[in-house]
Structure 1
Amino acid sequence: MIVTHPTDYEVHLFHEGSLYESYNVFGAHPETQKGVKGTRFSVWAPHAIEVEVVGNFNNWEGSNHGMTKLNDEGIWSLFIPALLENEIYKYQIKTITGKTSLKSDPYAFYSEVRPHTASVIYNIEGYDWKDQNWFKNKKKKSAYEEPLAFYEVHLGSWKKKDGEKFYTYRELADELIPYVLEHHFTHIEMMPLVEHPYDRSWGYQGTGYYSPTSRYGTPHDLMYFIDQCHLSGIGVILDWVPGHFCKDAHGLYMFDGRPTYEYQDVSVRENEVWGTANFDLGKGEVKSFLISNALFWMKYYHIDGFRVDAVANMLYWNTGGTSQKNEYAVSFLRKLNEMVFDADPSVLMIAEDSTDWPFVTGPTYEGGLGFNYKWNMGWMNDILKYMESEPRNRKYLHDKVTFSLMYTYSENFVLPFSHDEVVHGKKSLLNKMPGDYWQKFAQLRLLYGYLITHPGKKLLFMGGEFGQFDEWKDLEDLDWELQDFEMHRVLHEYFKELMKLYKRTKALWELDHLNEGFEWIDANNKDQSIFSFIRKGKKESDILIIVCNFREVVYENFKVGVPAFSYYNEIFNSDGIQYGGTGKINKMKIKTIEKPFHNQTCHLEMTIPPFGISFLRPVKTRKGNNSNGTEKKVRSHVTSRRTR
């Protein structure tokens, strides 16, 4: 038996919080020492009295495989002269009280399929990636000036074989990727894939942060899925939870009998809302563990970004019934984002934050938290409250639609209709809509149109695209049979057409984060609940006129102020017959009238559909003459971009 350990410098960095490849130091690694092939184990357990490696290879009896503690630093190491790949193991830890516990390896690369809880020795190297062109092309683009549309997926309940068996990562590559392409999403956002014991935690209460869940296959199987996404032009975002972890006996909680990964102070350690423990974000070893974990997912799984869960819970903690800022979390998040962007500036770091913390997407050198995107929870809550109200009462909630434009350029926002809005009795998006059967579908079409045309990137949870009527049932797959019903089928087609339009229309994303990209035409028509506005691209001719009617009333010859183009065409209307609407569309080219209206130099008259949204695009010639009497052409304008 040979005892080995990390270098003194690695130990120093780990305790300092700056060992950003700590997964190379800790965990189980095949290694050759002094000509002997074997497996090296290292674990941090500062309060342990003894630590042994146990598994099938020694019949779970560790007396011959005791680990050595290094210089009172709390790091234990052992080299076993045998290549133990695919063997299962745990650490048997004797605590200061004399009790013994069996713990999974915090740095394990693979785990047993639940309900079993042992770690698996796995060679993470060796996958042959084919996505080099994906990364080359990604680095040439700026996400801020591109369409971004995330399809949020829970892999275990998107679709099941025979209604009960999980699809594997490799099978999902064949099933999910073509579906995402068909719907014109740019990214798949996967709910947490870290190993977790309880299916219904959806991965938010993890035990194996370096171990993608074995429910759907091996780590190399997941690499294959992500590789196939990239080869198909789809980015992959991982929902990631650095704030808290579950308290199952084999996991991180009280790892060596005392608070190790969690706070010492019980008042901030226990997360009573979720029944979890909060990571001690002020502890250097925890910072090394978590920041390394993000970089690990980028390096080994080619993840394109992270949706960082529960940022509000990290930024503030409740002590004695009062909410206080957690400066440890602030420091951690800034360092996390700095290290991630230092490794790859094209990565998307998206904060799921419900607070009014300023400058979440501002650079750290200017005092920001350093994310490049934040979920716009205020917009989501406001527009859903507005849509759930009776149409005749919407005039009393008018500011729920207009208020978001008061702050939409204060951060770089993603507009989310996520899983959180369609569970726990909240009803599906379709079933939130008031009114009869037809009105529900009409208003959902309108809502999706408004989502696509409001400034900000887009996110939709699975099932919303075809009008899941029931809320999300996490133990079953989606209600795919609904597509046999006409209204669900045509809604599905509507959504695909809407997303296609979004991706090919620069006015809907090119100036997403600059106020030059949006202009109200009429934000004050609360009595009719009609809103009109302009979305703009970089070129002066790249504009869309958007008119939304949140009432069931049809209007003919309705006046809308517009910029001075000669003609406008209606290029999209949610009330089209083919989408299940009444057909109140504007078929013919609309000539503008040279009289000011709505603070615009001209106006037009159009049909306004019930519970509908209309997209109007100008003919590319602008009114007015040059000195030679010819008609002026539209000029381009160049505008600077706000970046992280």
Structure 2
Amino acid sequence: MTDFNYSLLSDFDIQLFKAGKHFHLYNKLGAHVVSHEGYRGTYFAVWAPNAKFVSVVGNFNGWDQQKNPMNVRWDGSGIWEVFLPGITEKEYYKYHIESHNGYCVEKGDPYAFHWETPPRTATVVWGLDYKWNDEEWLSTRSERPPLSKPISVYEVHIGSWRRVHEEDGRFMTYRELAHQLPEYCKFMGFTHVEFMPVMEHPFYGSWGYQLTGYFAPSSRYGTPQDFMYLIDKLHQNGIGVILDWVPSHFPTDEHGLGYFDGTHLYEYSDPRKGFHPDWKSNIFDLSRNEVRAFLISNALYWLERYHIDGLRVDAVASMLYLDYSRKEGEWIPNQFGGRENLEAISFLQEFNQAVHHHHPDVFTVAEESTAWPGVTQSVDDGGLGFDMKWMMGWMHDTLSYFSNAPVYRSYHQGQLTFSLVYAFSERFTLPLSHDEVVYGKASLINKMPGDSWQKFANLRLLYAYMFGHPGAKLIFMGGEFAQDHEWRHDFSLDWHENQDPQHSGVQKLLKDLNGLYQTEPSLYERNFEPSGFHWIDISDSENSVISWIRTGNETSEELLFIANFTPIVRDNYRIGVPQMGFYTEILNTDNLKYGGSDILNEGDIETFPVPMHGRTHSVSLQLPPLALTVLKFNRINPAI
């Protein structure tokens, strides 16, 4: 029996779909196991408005293109549907589509919850039943605004975090990761894991940024329920989960979204707007309501069905600019003659509004590499509506500064401090991401100048400077123990390097920095406010020393940061302090346990009425080489 009359779609669903306002399409389109008139089977629905014939093909009918035809709806929606009794979970299928122009193709289901493991390309009928155990996490998440807490992100590529060496270096499964990754992140003190795209992708070497299965976690590592189990375990260990999300482009693989029904359905038809020259991929046609609804439904799907805590939106700049990576004559101006993609702007605004309306306790992050104004400004005030933006300028300037030998750093101090000129123009995440440790750019440790000791001292200094700087933090896997080799997606991280004291010392420092970040409110309460940061001194370029204060709310203790970017020990170095009394050194990156030379400021550090840096009192310190020290007010001197 084939039933053309059964449908999950109401007239209201169709109205919303046509208007681009149906943000839960995954409940309606795709393949859904249902019971109908005493029969258990699968309802299939696919959007293919320019097709003349569509059928479901699969193992169950010998991939016969004529056996299970679908019926196009009468309402002009372009949706084809059919109920097939007896077809339930774990059945492989595709849609056979014949276009009016003679184009014939077999396509995977754009709304499929599960796909075959690449290089196979069929979609799989699959349900999403799972018993979650993260109620405590979700209830706690909703108690406070998401940006009011520390955000220290561990960026992970699932296929290369660890491999199973005993079995020819195969991928770890989601469930295997669930018994190692949450425990490791908890041990290290990271608050969030950010997964590079987990959605199904045909080419492993794309790192997940060329997606075909937007609603399916990659089957390379297991089933949807296996991925849910990983997220569940992370939540049970107090770790939030951020997903990389790619609404900017998609690959041209024949079984994917491209030229779906014999026309450019999901992508712009004009290659000057619809084809990305850098990535050789298609660009979503954001002028189409149905495409916008597809993408926003996908975003909400991951938040609702997988309990995701945040979405990092990839390549936002490529969406905003019509001339992105294009020469003159290779792009089409907007209706006002400008280079701004007005459709992408309105889409990103609508995406953020939808996410925050349905899930006010999650956050969105833009990877936006230009000076586009108002990325984190509210949509009501004309902004794009993101919660945070990657601070790419900080990353490039800081790594460039650190690449200089210390003897030359006095000439580049402005490069190090420039980020504070605009640090509060947006709400920023400081990223040291995967993009900085591939394609010959060198690992972070090998970006540092000097001999081996100086390289490690520089990296420890970089991390401490990062944690003292306003903004959320993000570190790519392997960076936390100073992996020597560039990231290689076909191999595991070099965990054996932790047996070396210098590498393990960096890891201990990162653990302590995360601990400091979470226990000292002055590092996160005003993370995105100008009142949370004050310079003590940025003028000592001769010695390459800078110092500053981080401030929280009224009841929180201030922290003082003093950084020496040269390998020279600075004796009796005096800085002005905001309070008189005694200070304590609570962190020093030159500590022996981190691999340093152990030049510390131990015991009480007393202030004296020696004016310095516009303050009435100051302290005298011994500044360790290539190191940062953190001071906290201890107590008032009772003798005063």
Q: TM-score, normalised by structure 1?
A: 0.95
**Worse overlay, 139-148 or 606-615:** 139-148
Give 3-state SS (helix, strand or coil) of 1:156's partner. coil
Output aligned runs, 1:385-534, within 5 Å: 385-534=400-549
1:93 equivalent in structure 2 = 97
Displacement, 1:569? 1.0
More divergent stretch after superposition (579-588 vs 456-465): 579-588
Judged with a 3 Å threshold, the aligned counterparts in structure 2 of structure 1 residues 541 and 23 are, in CA distance, closer, same or farther, namely closer
Q: In the aligned structure 2, how far is the partner of 1:218 from the partner of 1:540?
A: 48
What is the Cα deviation at residue 397 of structure 1? 1.6
The residue aligned with 2:3 is 2
- State whether residues 541 and 618 of structure 1, in contact with CA within 8 Å, keep that contact through their aligned partners in structure 2: no
Residue segments in structure 2 that go unaligned for 5+ positions in a row: 332-337
The CA distance in 2 between the partners of 1:176 and 1:305, in whole Å, is 18
Q: 1:426 to 1:196 in 2, by over 3 A?
A: same
Query: Distance between the aligned counterparts of 1:12 and 1:277, measured in 2?
Result: 27
- Where 1:221 maps in the other structure, the secondary structure is helix
Does residue 539 (structure 1) correspond to residue 554 (structure 2)? The answer is yes
1:533 is paired with a residue whose SS is strand
Paired residues in the alignment total 624
The residue that corresponds to 1:290 in the other structure is 295
The CA deviation at 1:336 is: 0.6
Give the partner amino acid of 1:264: S
Say which is worse superposed, 253-262 or 6-15, in terms of deviation.
6-15
Q: Answer yes or no: is 1:250 the counterpart of 2:251.
A: no
| Structure 1 Cα separation of the partners of residues 230 and 201 of structure 2 | 20
1:2 partner letter: D
Query: Which residue pairs with 2:42 in the alignment?
Result: 39
Equivalent of residue 595 in structure 2, options 580, 603, 608 = 580
CA contact (8 A) 2:481 2:504 kept: yes
Aligned to 1:164: 169
Q: Distance in 1 between matches of 2:514 and 2:174?
A: 26
After TM superposition, give the deviation of residue 608 of structure 1 in Å.
Answer: 0.7
Return 4-13 or 406-415, whichever deviates more. 4-13
In the alignment, which residue of structure 1 is the partner of 2:334?
none
- Residues in 2 aligned to 1:98 and 1:305: alpha-carbon distance in whole angstroms: 43
C-alpha distance in 1 between matches for 2:379 and 2:477: 34
Equivalent position SS for 1:228: helix
Deviation, structure 1 residue 355: 1.3
State yes or no: 1:153 paired with 2:168.
Answer: no
| Partners of 1:565 and 1:619 within 8 A in 2 | no
Write the deviation string for residues 162-214 of structure 1: whole angstroms up to 9, x where unpaired. 16211111111101111101100000100101100111111100000011110
Asked if structure 1 preserves the Cα contact closer than 8 Å seen for 2:23 and 2:300, the reply is yes
Equivalences for 1:601-612 in 2 at 5 Å? 601-612=616-627
- Aligned pair partner of 1:306 in 305, 311, 319: 311
CA contact (8 A) 1:30 1:37 kept: yes
115-124 vs 163-172, greater mean Cα deviation: 163-172
Q: How far apart are the structure 2 equivalents of 1:577 and 1:442? A: 11
Moved more, 32-41 or 567-576: 32-41
**Structural mapping, 1:27-176, within 5 Å:** 27-71=30-74, 72-124=76-128, 126-162=129-165, 164-176=169-181
| Residue pair 1:45, 1:75 contacting (<8 A) in 2 also | yes
Alpha-carbon distance between aligned partners in 1 of 2:215 and 2:523, rounded to the nearest angstrom: 38
Q: Give the distance between the partners of 2:164 and 2:547, measured in 1 at CA.
A: 46
User: Per-residue displacement from partner, 1:375-396 (whole Å, max 9, x unpaired)?
Assistant: 1111111101100112122222
The 5 A counterparts of 1:17-36 are 17-36=20-39
Deviates more, 1:138-147 or 1:423-432: 138-147
Match of 1:315 in 2: 320
CA RMSD of aligned residues (A): 1.4
Amino acid across the alignment from 1:332: F
Secondary structure, in 3 states, of the residue corresponding to 2:352? helix
> What is the rounded CA distance, in whole Å, between the counterparts of 1:167 and 1:312 in structure 2?
33
CA distance, structure 2, for counterparts of residue 468 and residue 538 of structure 1? 37
| Per-residue Cα deviation, 1:30-86 (whole angstroms, up to 9, x for no partner) | 122333322111101112121110000000002121111123432111111223210
For residues 265-319 of structure 1, the C-alpha deviation after alignment (integer angstroms, 9 at most, x for no partner) is 2111010111111111121011110000011111110001101100101111226
Q: 1:580-637 CA deviation, whole Å, 9 max, x = no partner?
A: 11121111311111122111221111001110000011114389xxxxxx98xxxxxx
Question: Are 1:185 and 2:190 counterparts?
Answer: yes
Contact between 1:561 and 1:604, CA under 8 Å: does it hold in 2? yes
3-state SS of 1:398 partner: helix
Q: 1:134 to 1:622 in 2, by over 3 A?
A: farther
Which piece of structure 1 moves more, 394-403 or 469-478? 394-403
Q: 1:50 touches 1:95 (CA, 8 Å); kept in 2?
A: yes
Contact 2:607 2:618 in 1 (8 A): yes
Conserved in 1, the CA contact under 8 Å of 2:522 and 2:556? no
Aligned to 1:640: none
Summarize the Cα distance change of 1:541–1:153 in structure 2 as closer, same or farther, 3 Å threshold.
closer
Moved more, 467-476 or 5-14: 5-14
Task: Tell whether the 8 Å contact from 2:446 to 2:484 is kept in structure 1 after alignment.
Answer: yes
Instruction: Work out the CA distance in 2 between the residues paired with 1:563 and 1:9.
Output: 63
1:230-241 matches, within 5 Å, as 230-241=235-246
Question: What are the superposed Cα offsets for residues 404-434 of structure 1, whole Å, 9 maximum, x if unpaired?
Answer: 1111111111111010111111111100001
Structure 1 pair 343–622 and aligned structure 2 pair: CA distance change class (3 A): farther
Match in the other structure for 1:361? 376
Question: Structure 1 residues 620 and 263 mapped into 2: Cα distance closer, same or farther (>3 Å)?
Answer: farther
Task: Report the equivalent of 2:605.
Answer: 590
**Structure 1 unpaired stretches of 5+:** 624-629, 632-644
- Answering whether residue 264 of structure 2 is matched by residue 259 of structure 1, we say yes
**Which letter does structure 2 place at the counterpart of 1:181?**
K
CA distance in 2, matches of 1:427, 1:164: 24
**What's 2:229 paired with?**
224
Tell me which moved more, 66-75 or 397-406: 66-75
Q: What SS class does the counterpart of residue 301 from structure 2 fall into?
A: helix
Offset, 1:486: 2.1
Q: Match of 1:248, SS?
A: coil
- CA deviations 1:340-375 (Å, max 9, x no partner) are 111111101011111111111111111111111111
In 2: Cα distance, 1:505 partner to 1:541 partner: 8
Sequence identity percentage:
46
CA distance in 1, matches of 2:169, 2:410: 46
Q: Which amino acid aligns with 2:104?
A: T
Q: Which whole-Å CA distance do the structure 1 matches of 2:635 and 2:343 have between them?
A: 54
Q: Which moved more, 1:79-88 or 1:184-193?
A: 79-88
SS in 2 for 1:324: coil
1:402 positional shift: 1.3
Distance in 1 separating the partners of 2:635 and 2:348: 46
The answer to whether residue 347 in structure 2 is matched with residue 332 in structure 1 is yes
Deviation at 1:540, TM superposition (A): 5.7
CA distance in 1, matches of 2:224, 2:409: 50
Is the CA contact (8 Å cut-off) linking 1:541 and 1:620 kept in structure 2? no
Amino acid at match of 1:133: E
Which amino acid is the alignment partner of residue 39 of structure 1? T
> Is the CA contact (8 Å cut-off) linking 2:154 and 2:190 kept in structure 1?
yes
CA contact (8 A) 2:60 2:87 kept: no
Paired residue type of 2:612 = F
